[in-house]
Amino acid sequence: MSAKAISEQTGKEFLYKYICTSAAVQNRFRYASVSAETDWDCLTQEHPWLLTERLVVKPDQLIKRRGKLGLVGIDLHLQGVQEWLKAHIMKETTVGKAKGVLKNFLIEPFVPHTQEEEFYVCIYATREGDHVLFHHEGGVEVGDVDAKAQRLMVAVDDKLSEDQVKEQLLTHVPDDKKEVLANFIVGLFNLYEDLYFTYLEINPLVVTKDGVYVLDMAAKIDATADYICKAKWGEVTFPPPFGREAYPEEAYIADLDAKSGASLKLTLLNPRGRIWTMVAGGGASVVYSDTICDLGGVDELANYGEYSGAPSEQQTYDYAKTILSLMTREKHCQGKVLIIGGSIANFTNVAATFKGIVRAIKDYQGPLKEHEVTIFVRRGGPNYQEGLRVMGEVGKTTGIPIHVFGTETHMTAIVGMALGHRPIPNQPPMDAHTANFLLNASNSAATPAATRTASFSEPRTSNDSTPAKKSKGGLPADSLHSILWPLKNVVTADWKEAQASSGCSGAKATTLFRKHTKAMVWGMQTRAVQGMLDFDYVCSRDEPSVAAMVYPFTGDHKQKFYWGHKEILVPVYKNMADAMKKHPEVDVMISFASLRSAFDSTMEAMQYPQIDTIAIIAEGIPEAQTRKLIKMADTKGVTIIGPATVGGIKPGCFKIGNTGGMLDNILASKLYRPGSVAYVSRSGGMSNELNNIISRTTDGVYEGVAIGGDRYPGSTFMDHVLRYQDTPGIQMIVVLGEIGGTEEYKICQGIREGRITKPVVCWCIGTCATMFASEVQFGHAGACANQASETAVAKNQALRDAGAYVPKSFDELGDVIKTVYDELVADGTIIPAQEVPPPTVPMDYSWARELGLIRKPASFMTSICDERGQELIYAGMPITEVFKEEMGLGGVLGLLWFQRRLPRYACQFIEMCLMVTADHGPAVSGAHNTIVCARAGKDLISSLTSGLLTIGDRFGGALDAAAKQFSKAFDSGMLPMEFVNKMKKDGKLIMGIGHRVKSINNPDMRVQILKDFVKQNFPSTQLLDYALDVEKITTSKKPNLILNVDGFIGVAFVDLLRTCGGFTRDEADEFVEIGALNGIFVLGRSMGFIGHYLDQKRLKQGLYRHPWDDISYVLPEHMSM
């Protein structure tokens, strides 16, 4: 969400720090925060004024009207404050519907004043600008300020002046206070803008002869502006609404959300509840909560939350295990249900996210069975069939009851099943697999719509079903009056004000997209672009809809895509100006810019007159920036779709980015050709669900737009409804509104005034909000009611009263749409067209492989490392475990080289070998080459490589050879003397024997260190003992024919492989044969070579030239005839 409430202490801290005003603001930073754990001695040392002044104490937990509730202690000394707190702290209190415990309190100096010195001031944001409310009578008895206060609206990008304040707000203020108040209010407004407040209320604001006092304050800030305001805000803690505890699991999910490009939300409503949800999508999550509450589950609903935006398998696993952990802490006498629901995804790979959920279910299968948890799953979208299959399999293997449904089942039908209101089918009908739509598997050319049913949201009974605990008859679908529910008029006075202040603005353009519309895509979103081109092709467009892409992080180039069967190139430009100049036919901009760059790139795009429509996909753009975009768009005559949207679709013509999902859904929902029904919604996922519902109940979609979930979408419901009203091909309109805002009232006004004459089917989601004791912020930033008229219940009633077709619940939306459509067909308004099969589009190789439709031999095979998941894995061991077990470099080498977890002593031995082979001075050939190369000005890699290339039989390569020679001799039963004699007879050197400097009288300490360790730790050293016997023979002939470090490591490593218990004899011999032991020398000596390279660079050594006197020039004598 964007607008988040902050504590009074935080709000005052911001004000005292950053307000710029000549008014004397008193009591700056004079507040003390108190909780049950407070040390009063430390508190009074930090705030000595507590001991000397009269005080005020009050809870700081987002409680409104504290004074009227008796929750403010006034004019007390410190002891009085402590006594007052004893009566209130950690006590349960009821505020409205909410019950909560008073935990956090604020103590401030008491300010003596008269009633005439109290004022009220409030600033809050709306779409058009910021409203400043002022009333000359503040305090507890201020009453209905909306009706009484003077108000001034400051338009977006305008400034507030002191003269405006005096003339329009301070008309009832004494002259001696006008100057101070005007200056303070202007300073307050500037602070409000600079720190991205969305709401700021001070009541009372006290003005005395000494200055201005801010007594009570309530505020909200735009949390999405964190990246702009971080330096001033610091670390802000957002307290939960009163009546809801702040749980560590909520903070954990919030932290996951902050670190992810996906959206992860969790709010705990009743941790002891039996109904838990894990829903994909901001809009869908609200719909599921509504349905649970509609069916009587409000008191048992444990949580609200959502995951969306293509979270990874690991992120979904972390989210799922948090839910499962919470729901398996306390048993419920009726068992528990988990609803894993969602709309039809646009771009999220359902199978990938379900893998994370399946992992979590397997991890918690014991507690889930112990707590008698039943799981209901309904999902659609890319690869959903595989996801559902995997989910069904885990139910069978774990014994947990898991009921799985796809797009053939109405989205919320599983709620009725879970709560016992409808039967559970034993064999739910399954829609065709992705491949059936994209590959010609039959001779039939008909559109694959055979599984479609006319009415799907009512319960079905058949011989094939299991009766639920409480069976409930279905609603008849033949009469509209049996579906619509007549309620008492619950429209409040707030609605009348909203209606009066609303106006039907004229649409900028009736037609946004045509058959020949050309778009420019901002951002390197190749998957989305390919999806658009595939849609174009299946719609039989003559040319691709994407003319060019803009990506400022690379130079101009061409990007390859598919157009049907053939490959095409789409130009990519670094600069938007170049793209616009070279493609004057482009009139749509689709922006995949990040939330940080979306504002600037959109403002730039609107400077080009050719652009008529801009879709902004990014979520999390600060509201102040969005309002500036809207103002500029209104000035330029540009239609903005978004922000926080998936976009929109016009079947047969054009689609924005990932809208409509993948081709299987495009074809299943008949989006390749126009129907007669147009819709507008906020949610992207729910827009895809509407595609599904409308395709199953009517002749299909004519156009659909998701305006986005932010509080201020670039275009409104009414903008698009008016376009649809003026479009001849559209015969009926569907609107999926939601809690928050008042835009739906403009539709009511349009219907009443006769501006809208086509049938409008409308449902506002979020009806559950009025049933919760405390405020719940739903998934969309705009889904929060700030007054009664913004509730979904009030808006649904107003729409019903205005003449719109409003169902009883979302569960029956499809029935209402079908009924209205059937009436239009019956009276001849709609004449359904004959289906025309679309052309076949080849499936991408990568997607076909993911679906398991094809197989191809891999170009590479690996068995040591896997970097594809959330965590790097070495030979099956996650990298976190490697560090947790403190395996060290030797342990990692064991995993990567030998695919084994080696014993601790083996890991230590490997590390010792690397240490002793790391370097042997600058004179050896490898180091010499590295030094010469470094001094020639070459880079690190080149210098290191030149040194490594010298390693071979003569230098450093004796480890493998020594291991092989000694092993062969030992295994064949040769006595050490026989082995020495044979090698002498064959004229071969014994590898690993001999040293230029060291001898039996001057032993190599490296060998001695290794020998002591091996003898002490290895289970057996047969080959080493054999080599030492050989050494006795060779040193008796010549003292320097010792077992050198290469030979020692070689034979000791064979002993290690053969006796550590981790390898068979064949495996041990194979590692020796394939050269694994020389790797020890290569790896160790690389450290030394790099050291020599860095040493030469540090010493700034110049080009090396070998001295003449160290070269013996032996040339042939001059020969003459």
- Write out the DSSP string of 403-439: EEE-TTS-TTHHHHHHTTSS-EESS---PPPHHHHHS
3-state secondary structure of 519: strand
3-state secondary structure of 578: helix
The residue from 780, 920, 928, 995 that is catalytic is: 780
Q: List the beta bridge partners of residue 588.
A: 519, 613
The order of strands in the sheet holding 105-109 is 32-34, 105-109, 55-59, 73-76
3-state secondary structure of 184: helix
Q: Report d(CA 765, CA 774) in Å as an integer.
A: 18
Residue 748 near residue 797, CB atoms below 8 Å: no
Q: Report d(CA 823, CA 871) in Å as an integer.
A: 57
- Write the single-letter amino acid at 660: G
**How many Cα atoms occupy the beta-carbon half-sphere of 84 within 13 Å?**
21
No. of helices (H) and no. of strands (E), the chain = 39, 37
Give the other-Cβ count within 10 Å of 997's Cβ: 7
Residue 728 near residue 673, CB atoms below 8 Å: no
Residue with tokens 């590479």: 860
User: Is 498 buried (19+), middle (13-18) or exposed (0-12) by CB count in 10 A?
Assistant: buried
Q: How does DSSP classify residue 1018?
A: -
Rounded to an integer, what is the distance from CA 1078 to the centroid of its chain?
46
3-state secondary structure of 880: helix
Residue 667 near residue 725, CB atoms below 8 Å: no
Ramachandran class of 660: left when φ > 0, alpha when ψ lies in -120 to 50, beta otherwise: left
- Write the single-letter amino acid at 495: W
Q: Where are the alpha helices (DSSP H) in 1038-1115?
A: 1045-1059, 1065-1073, 1076-1098
* Phi/psi at 461 (5° precision): -120, 140
The question of whether 403 is a catalytic residue gets the answer: no
Residue 587 near residue 605, CB atoms below 8 Å: no
Q: Taking every pair of C-alpha atoms in the chain, what is the biggest distance, in angstroms?
A: 129
- Write the single-letter amino acid at 474: G
Residue 856 near residue 849, CB atoms below 8 Å: yes
Q: Report d(CA 232, CA 212) in Å as an integer.
A: 23
Nearest to 617 by CA among 350, 380, 309: 309
As given in the structure block, the two tokens for residue 344 are 């039809």
Give the other-Cβ count within 10 Å of 1073's Cβ: 12
Q: Report d(CA 320, CA 311) in Å as an integer.
A: 12
Q: Where are the alpha helices (DSSP H) in 681-812?
A: 684-697, 717-725, 743-752, 792-802
Q: List the beta bridge partners of residue 560.
A: 569
Q: Report d(CA 824, CA 817) in Å as an integer.
A: 11
Give the other-Cβ count within 10 Å of 1055's Cβ: 23
Q: Report d(CA 1068, CA 1072) in Å as an integer.
A: 7
Give the other-Cβ count within 10 Å of 418's Cβ: 27
3-state secondary structure of 616: strand
Q: Report d(CA 41, CA 47) in Å as an integer.
A: 10
Active site residues: 780
